[in-house]
A = this chain, B = another copy of it.
């Protein structure tokens, strides 16, 4: 299933820039960055729960925001992109 993870990290708060770097690094282990603070992750239920748990431990819930959007398994027609930074289709066959 496709999970869109979007986050706002309060970089002006103590440790904010470190949290931002850690959150981005962790998200990149689960999917691809499509915008500065938006990742698209094709994951199963187990990995989605793991990702949520790990990210929740990283952020400061008083000042940071995490949002996950579950677009399910049939997501190709639910995503529209206009402009720069066109992303790879994560599930398309790799052609060598």
A residues near B (Cβ < 8 Å) are 4, 6-8, 10, 34-38, 52, 55-56, 59-72, 77-85
Measured in the bound complex, the distance between the Cα atoms of B7 and A83 in whole Å is: 10
Other-chain contact of A81, B36, B37, B66, B83 (Cβ < 8 Å):
B66
Q: How far is the CB of A41 from chain B (nearest CB, A)?
A: 13
A-B contact list, 24 entries, CB within 8 Å: A4-B6, A35-B37, A35-B65, A37-B37, A38-B67, A52-B82, A56-B82, A61-B83, A61-B84, A62-B83, A63-B84, A64-B84, A65-B82, A65-B84, A65-B85, A66-B81, A66-B82, A67-B79, A68-B80, A68-B81, A69-B69, A69-B78, A70-B77, A71-B71
Chain B residues near A59 (CB-CB < 8 A): 82-83
Q: A35-B6, A35-B8, A65-B35 are in contact. Are A78 and B71 (CB under 8 A)?
A: yes
